[in-house]
Amino acid sequence: MPSSMPVAPKPRPYRRFLTSALHTRFVHAAGLALIWNLAVAGFASDWCSESQEQERWQRAHTDEATASLTSFLSIPSFFWAFFPLGPAGVKAGLFTLSSLFIFMLQIATFQIGKRCTPSNWTSIRTVLLSYSTYTTLLWYMASAWWFCEVFIFTSPTSAALAWTINGGYGAPDKLNERPIYLRYFFLQLGAMQAGLHILNDSSSLSWPVKKPERPRGEPEEGAKGKMMVVKMLGTLLGLVQPAATLSATASLTAPFLYTAFVRRSLWSWHIWCAKVFANIARSESEPPDGFYIGSIMGRAFIFGLLLALTWQLNIVLFQTFMLKEPTKDGKLLSSPSKDPNGTLLHGLNAKRELVKTFAFWELEIIARTDADRRKHIFADFERPNQAPIFSQMLNAALGVLKSIDSRMKTLDPPPKAPPSTNGVQTDNAQHHLPRLLPNAVPAKSQIYQPMNPAAGDSRAGRLVNYASHEAKLIGSSQNPWSPPLHKTKQLAIEYSSPTIKDLQSRAEAAQQSPLGRYLLTTPVRLIKSAVLGTPNSNPGLTISAVNSMTVMLVASLTEDTFGKAVHGVPLLVQALTTTIFATEGFVHKHTNGGFVSSSDANRLEEVVAIHEQLQTSLRELLSAFQIFLSDVGLSIRDLNDGRKAAETRELFRVIPPAEAHSDSPRGPHDRPIRESGASGKKPEMQEVNEEQQRREKEKQQQDQQARRRRSQQAYEDTDIDRNRPGRLFSQLDRGSSYQASMRERRKSIGKGDVQDSNPLAAGSRRTNGSAGMSENPFRARDFSSLPAGGLQKRRVAKVQ
């Protein structure tokens, strides 16, 4: 039996290498979080009060020699408070668990790109119905509770944070309300931080639109690893203000909320727990009347600030390490694979947005910095039952561009075409034509019979017959809106138009309200959702896909030995051209002619970056292949469209702040709306429209003057043969001076006081005796009734 062909092993999935790299980055982030929690543990220990107590105990229980040695060992209490191989290390490990809770939350709710929806109401609905929202609240409250318990457990006795207060000999213990309030304070702080986390979408990575280009041979892990601590210190200083604001807000609002809503319930729960290990009197079942919260507000604010800084630092560490380039140990993620090209292709075709984004980022790095890897990709075209590797990579990049067009059509579908029948015109197409006969032609014997004999020949009978006939026509028609109901529909719309106008005015007023502007779809959010993606934006994916394919195709001119990659140039040019035109048309349609305010322009920076990248890539392709475009299969039409799309132009125009006043009411689409009759300078958009109208009017006047000059020149340059009146009239029918003279001559001839000196005037009158009436000079003349030679004599006399 013939041996079967060996099957090539499947390449290792790209997500395996990416997961390994992300685990390493997670460990590095957790290590830096441990260092920070060591500092928090040092601040949490009251080392000043502990050193004073140690000195008192040494003086009371030791002699002079041993006291000096013990004091020498106990002098650096500040050092022991931060030394990791002692109690401070144990505290740091316990505090680090609260940071691990946040890391686990970010991994569970990890997404690529910020939240991007067409309207705020869509975002609110998505957040409220999302499982990650309640997971975020749970993890933050768990982190705050654990931090509070570790803080209370490791606090010195001078802080008075024990569960109960010792009642003395024989007296029952009392419940301590200070830790109760402290637990509620940290739980409220966790709930507030969870709300900020959801509002700021902190679990999503804001992908860099313009990635810094890394020079060849730069040590990725070494150079950036040395600067990591310096960057973290600079970032930490910027996080102090929001953390202090959060802690201060919780410190000011917690006493009122605690006293008004949760004090009795928390007291009852703590009483039930304290009775397990303490002797609590029955009189302690209700909280006491007076509780001085001010004694613990300072301590709550300080440690609330430390906890808020811990959370903020965890978010920054996670995003910083996760946004590093797709490398590990200075090598690309797919390099250790036995089939690096197959592994990278697997990542480009992945369904998960995270894997696909990192794969295209790696392909962009290969296209710009790794010539050997590029040549390997170009030469990899002999895989069994597969297209060349570069062709498959190009198809993956074209899929990213096509997704932009599909989102535009989904968010703003084109108007539906009317249904058409196969070779049969519908009644809508013939509603302007009268119906001569009904669909069912009656028999010959029924033509002269009345439609409804029972109705009779009276006026009422004829009305019944007419109504019956029209009803039959309506029932037999394919479209019941055909006449006469079509006219009735138009009349109904006209009569109901005032009501529709009222509803439209009310709708516009609702859109201009703050609630309407917040809930309705705005053009800026619609454009971002269509171009960047929804429900999460990912501009880095589009830029990496376009940039990598453009650089690879340009490099194929010198590195593609077999010439396989050049066949993808027409496909990429057509895709770029289509996407550029579609983006410009979509933006122009939803921004009132391409005019936006300065605030909207700032929110559309990523859209502008993608548009500029598309145009830049298209210009690079056309410039690199300008002498090979016909050879690679690019048609003349596609070439002209590509050159037109590659022209440098702005995606939209920005209205200056001076033109759009902030105090003017704004419409539902975040555009300034000026009231009628309001004083002030006109908006730039209105000025531009007036300028266009003025230019069009001047152009029309210039065209009209040019036509007049051409007519006058034709009149002056034409050799007029006066013996041929028809030619004279055909050439001078547009001359205004000639028409005025003819009107005056006809009036004079009608009065009979002018001789027929003009042979044309003589020939233009009737010869049947009605000399006072003049015909239209443009009609054909009948000279048969004139005497022979009469007309010629008159012409000769006129010539003489």
Same structural domain, 148 and 263: yes
Residue type at position 692: Q
CB 299 within 8 A of CB 159: yes
**Confidence band of 402 (pLDDT split at 50, 70, 90):** very high
Residue 579 neighbours by CB distance under 10 Å: 26
Cis peptide before 442 (omega within 30 of 0): no
Residue type at position 255: P
Residue 258, domain member (yes or no): yes
The more confidently predicted of residues 315 and 122 is 315
d(CA 377, CA 391): 10
pLDDT digits (tens, 9 = 90+) for 639-697: 999 999 999 888 888 887 655 544 444 433 444 333 333 334 444 445 555 666 777 77
The more confidently predicted of residues 225 and 586 is 586
Same structural domain, 622 and 549: yes
Domain boundary among 616, 632, 655: 655
Residue 593, domain member (yes or no): yes
Residue 20, domain member (yes or no): yes
Percentage of residues in the chain having pLDDT higher than 70 = 63
Number of domains composing the chain: 2
Residue 665 neighbours by CB distance under 10 Å: 11
Cis peptide before 535 (omega within 30 of 0): yes
Q: Is the pLDDT of residue 110 over 50?
A: yes
Same structural domain, 305 and 355: no
Residue 313, domain member (yes or no): yes
Q: Is the pLDDT of residue 235 over 50?
A: yes
Q: What is the pLDDT of residue 405?
A: 92
Q: What is the pLDDT of residue 210?
A: 61
Tell how strand 164-165 and strand 111-112 pair up: unpaired
Same structural domain, 144 and 252: yes
Q: Which of 580, 571, 532 is nearest to 550 (CA)?
A: 571
Among 69-78, 176-185, 331-340, the range scoring the smallest mean pLDDT is 69-78
Residue type at position 506: R
The more confidently predicted of residues 477 and 538 is 538
Residues 98-124, mean pLDDT to the nearest whole number: 89
pLDDT digits (tens, 9 = 90+) for 151-194: 999 888 888 888 888 877 777 888 888 999 999 999 999 999 99
Q: Is the pLDDT of residue 488 over 80?
A: no
Same structural domain, 249 and 102: yes
d(CA 595, CA 654): 6
Which residues, in sequence order, are bridge partners of residue 597? 655
The more confidently predicted of residues 509 and 27 is 27
Q: What is the pLDDT of residue 228?
A: 61
Same structural domain, 258 and 172: yes
Residue 72 neighbours by CB distance under 10 Å: 9
Residue 233, domain member (yes or no): yes
Which residues contact residue 205 at a Cβ distance below 8 angstroms, ignoring those fewer than 6 apart? 110, 111, 112, 113, 319, 322, 323
Domain boundary among 631, 655, 679: 655
**Confidence band of 563 (pLDDT split at 50, 70, 90):** confident
Which residues, in sequence order, are bridge partners of residue 280? 173
**Confidence band of 5 (pLDDT split at 50, 70, 90):** very low
- What's the whole-model pTM score? 0.69
Same structural domain, 317 and 343: no
Which residues, in sequence order, are bridge partners of residue 204? 111
d(CA 438, CA 469): 9
CB 244 within 8 A of CB 314: no
Mean pLDDT, the chain, as a whole number?
Answer: 75
Domain boundary among 291, 326, 361: 326
Residue 257, domain member (yes or no): yes
Residue type at position 746: R
- Domain hosting 234: range is 14-44+86-326
Same structural domain, 398 and 277: no
Same structural domain, 259 and 153: yes
Same structural domain, 315 and 353: no
Residue 7 neighbours by CB distance under 10 Å: 8
Which tokens go with 14?
């790209």
Q: Which of 360, 337, 320, 363 is nearest to 25 (CA)?
A: 320
Residue 638, domain member (yes or no): yes
Q: Which of 449, 644, 643, 617 is nearest to 549 (CA)?
A: 617
Q: What is the pLDDT of residue 689?
A: 59
Burial of 769 from C-beta contacts in 10 A (0-12 / 13-18 / 19+): exposed
d(CA 738, CA 744): 10
pLDDT digits (tens, 9 = 90+) for 603-614: 899 999 999 999
d(CA 44, CA 303): 8
pLDDT digits (tens, 9 = 90+) for 191-218: 999 999 999 999 888 776 765 454 444 4
**Confidence band of 232 (pLDDT split at 50, 70, 90):** low
Residue 223, domain member (yes or no): yes
CB 606 within 8 A of CB 532: yes
Give strand ranges (E) for 139-217.
Answer: 164-165, 174-175, 204-205
The more confidently predicted of residues 707 and 654 is 654
d(CA 502, CA 505): 5
CB 319 within 8 A of CB 29: no
SS3 at position 765: strand
The more confidently predicted of residues 459 and 144 is 144
Same structural domain, 228 and 176: yes
Same structural domain, 359 and 262: no
